[in-house]
Structure 1
Amino acid sequence: MSQTKVAITIEEGVLAKIDALVRRKVFSNRSRAIQEAVLEKLERLDRNRLAEECAKLDSVFERAMADEGLSEESDAWPKY
């Protein structure tokens, strides 16, 4: 995947924590630490969005649809 350089402004305390992680070899460099933090946050936001969308579903209706689908398909399943 291609990468692009960007400039960011970051609090000194946060940068000090990142530098400490780099010194401890948790990350190879500042860029890697920040990139992984951003990716983790984006993934968390995606999971939250999925959870919010799932919460909108009608559980009774979804259960009925699942049960209906299972009862129709079970007749066609081979017996072992």
Structure 2
Amino acid sequence: MAKAKLAVTMDEQTLAEVDALVRQHKFPNRSQVIELAVREKLDRLSKNRLAEQCALLDPDFEEALAEEGMGEEIDQWPAY
């Protein structure tokens, strides 16, 4: 995937921690640290949105919807 350059401003303590990770060879460079941190945050936010939307669902309605029309089909399914 193509990468784009950007400028980032952060407090000195955070930058010192990023630089320490690079010095300890945990990351090859600052960009890798920041890219991974942003990716992990985006993933977490995405999962939170999914959980919030799932919490809005009505389990009884969803179950009824899933079983709707299964009366005829269920008799044709093989036994487990």
TM-score, scaled relative to structure 1: 0.84
Cα displacement (A) at 1:12: 0.4
Gaps of 5+ in 2: none
The corresponding residue for 1:6 is 6
Q: State the identity as a percent.
A: 56
**Distance between the aligned counterparts of 1:46 and 1:29, measured in 2?**
26
How far is the alpha carbon of 1:72 from its aligned partner?
4.9
Listed as ranges, the gaps of 5+ residues in structure 1 are none
SS at match of 2:78: coil
CA gap 1:19/1:47 in 2 versus in 1, 3 angstroms: same
Number of matched pairs: 80
Q: How do 1:47-66 residues align onto structure 2 when only pairs under 5 Å count?
A: 47-66=47-66
Matches within 5 A, 1:7-46: 7-46=7-46
Moved over 3 A (4+): 66-74
Matches of 1:75 and 1:26, distance apart in 2: 58
TM-score of the aligned structures, taking structure 2 as reference length: 0.84
